[in-house]
């Protein structure tokens, strides 16, 4: 892949223009970041694990009727995807209390919520992804009411599919972050689904099997992700 085709370089991925104008190639990097990029490490093997886990999850979602940007898995660290206009929104769904929710409200971690919580964050590294509510989303033109309703419905559907998907491998799906894009007037799921953007806990030990092991220095990230991939593929 030549550098002149590089469209965007992110914290965990590079995005290149593909041969077809309406497609791009995502190349996963061997890099882990936390605290909005303030903590950064080169971790050989991470990119292929993220890509393979995300490919498994996206393939499962597609088989179950979720429209996504994925066109084709090209290699163990590259995916061909549709080019979309991405909403500058991070959509977080929580099933179990953890992370920023626990810090913000000083509540106990690990409580199963009666109903999932959906939260929105405005995607901006410069602003540290601030919390944004629904009326702000509409008023600032980030998404209109119909678009946001559809995004919420899709997020709940993804959760309904992924809770049993991870449970089959003895994981609790604690929370996750999704992103959405628009193409030809259709809203589809974009980005990735890997332990970088979700929390999964072992059902028995309740140990984290996601990026929290890196954020909290609890365990080796690459080894943890390798175990996640193995448990998702051998069941
Ligand atoms: P929290 O708000 O508790 O920090 O995060 C909730 C969930 O969303 C976690 O699964 C976390 O990994 C994911 N998440 C939140 N913000 C980001 C982000 O900027 N990038 C990624 N990759 N995931 C995020």
Mean pLDDT (whole number) for 208-221: 96
Q: Could you tell me the pTM of the whole model? A: 0.96
Give the model confidence (pLDDT) of 41-64 as tens digits: 999 999 999 999 999 999 999 999
Residue 133: the pLDDT is 98
CB of 212 closer than 6 angstroms to any ligand 1 atom: no
pLDDT computed for residue 214 by the predictor: 96
* Cβ–ligand 1 contact at 175 (below 6 Å): yes
pLDDT band at residue 39 under the 50/70/90 scheme: confident
pLDDT at position 3 is 54
Residues in the chain, how many?
A: 235
Task: Say whether pLDDT at 235 is over 90.
Answer: no
Ligand 1 pocket residue status of 129, Cβ below 6 Å: yes
177 CA closest ligand 1 atom index = 8
CA distance 11 to 37: 7
Phi/psi at 134 (nearest 5 deg)?
A: -65, -40
CA–centroid distance, 216 to ligand 1, in Å, is 14
Q: 36 pLDDT band (50/70/90 cuts)? A: confident
| Residue to probe by mutation, ligand 1, list 105, 111, 163, 197, most atoms within 8 Å of CB | 197
- Structural domains of the chain, with CATH: 3-82 (3.30.200.20), 85-218 (3.30.470.20)
């Amino acid at each position: 892949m030549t550098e002149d085709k590089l469209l965007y370089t992110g914290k965990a991925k590079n995005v290149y223009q593909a041969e077809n104008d309406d497609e791009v190639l995502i190349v996963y990097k061997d890099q882990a970041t936390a605290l909005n990029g303030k903590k950064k490490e080169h971790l050989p093997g991470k990119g292929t694990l993220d890509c393979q886990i995300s490919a498994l999850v996206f393939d499962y979602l597609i088989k179950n009727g979720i429209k996504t940007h994925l066109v084709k898995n090209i290699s163990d660290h590259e995916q061909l995807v549709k080019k979309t206009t991405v909403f500058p929104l991070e959509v977080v769904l929580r099933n179990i209390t953890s992370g920023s929710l626990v810090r913000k409200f000083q509540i106990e971690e690990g409580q199963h919520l009666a109903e999932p919580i959906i939260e929105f964050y405005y995607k901006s590294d410069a602003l540290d992804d601030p919390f944004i509510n629904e009326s702000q989303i509409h008023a600032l033109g980030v998404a209109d009411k119909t678009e946001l309703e559809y995004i919420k419905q899709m997020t709940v559907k993804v959760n309904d599919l992924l809770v049993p998907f991870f449970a089959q491998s003895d994981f609790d799906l604690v929370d996750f972050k999704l992103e959405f894009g628009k193409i030809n007037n259709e809203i589809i799921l974009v980005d990735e689904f890997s332990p970088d953007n979700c929390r999964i806990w072992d059902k028995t030990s309740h140990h984290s099997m996601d990026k929290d092991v890196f954020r909290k220095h609890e365990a080796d990230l690459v080894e943890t992700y390798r175990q996640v991939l193995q448990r998702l593929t051998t069941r």
